[in-house]
Amino acid sequence: MEENERLDVVQKILDERDRLLLERLKAQERIREAVLEDLRIAQKINDVRAAGRVFGQSLAIVTDSKEFASMEVLQAAMTKARQDKPWVPGESRPISAKQIPHDGAAQAADDEEHVAGEEGEQSSLESEGRVRIRDLVLQFLDSAGPAGTQAATIREWLATQKKIETHSKTVGMTLYRLSQDGLAARKGRTWFLAEPAAAGETKNPGGETPGLIETGN
């Protein structure tokens, strides 16, 4: 092969490399946007569940990302959450107020569904013999390693992996208290497990108050 021909071939290879690198960059940007959108939708789903409770209506909701692999998988997961009652989008109906117990507890869900994991609130979790939100947050910080994580990511993990729904401020307040105890530290909106040497050091010198903590939500 002549040198000029070789150079032409190599030039095409280099151009193709550059094109593919830029193409993958755009693909990764779309993935990051999709992940953020998924987190936003997950938060809205949690808000919808909370809104239902306000009006005495429990909602059967699935949260594990694996349950959204396809429409068939989602329908199967929702059917299971509704105690084997088939789920048809758009056809769910509210229960009558007469069906709600007089003590105000919303035992029945939409279309008389049953909600799995309703015992996941922090108050019950922190009772004797149950794992605490604080311990789970520490566990997640430890697994995140030096890369750290954000409060919203921890809250999503609690909801999807541990089936624990928390108030929008719970994780942020927990992280704040852990930082006050020298067990967690943050840089901007990213939280880390405090280095062993940091334990017992002087608490937040900036006098940051819980009301000002960045929750990332």
User: Using an 8 Å Cβ cutoff, are 78 and 114 in contact?
Assistant: no
Q: Of the candidates 100, 116, 132, which is a domain's last residue?
A: 116
- Give me the half-sphere count of Cα atoms (radius 13 Å) on the Cβ side of residue 66: 2
* CATH number where 187 lies: 1.10.10.10
Instruction: Work out how many domains the chain is built from and give that number.
Output: 3
Domain of 19, in residue numbers: 1-48
Alpha helices in the chain (DSSP H): 3-54, 71-81, 122-125, 133-144, 151-160, 170-180
Residues 184 and 130 in one domain: yes
Give CA torsion, residues 170, 175, 176, 179, to 10 deg: 160
Residues 109 and 124 in one domain: no
pLDDT per position as a tens digit, 43-88: 888 888 888 877 777 888 888 888 999 999 999 999 998 888 899 9
Question: Does the predicted TM-score (pTM) go above 0.85?
Answer: no
Residues 166 and 92 in one domain: no
Q: Spell out the residues 6+ positions from residue 77 whose beta carbon is closer than 8 angstroms to its own.
A: 62, 64, 67
Alpha helices in 55-132 (DSSP H): 71-81, 122-125
pLDDT per position as a tens digit, 130-147: 357 888 999 899 899 888
User: Using an 8 Å Cβ cutoff, are 60 and 45 in contact?
Assistant: no
Residues 99 and 12 in one domain: no
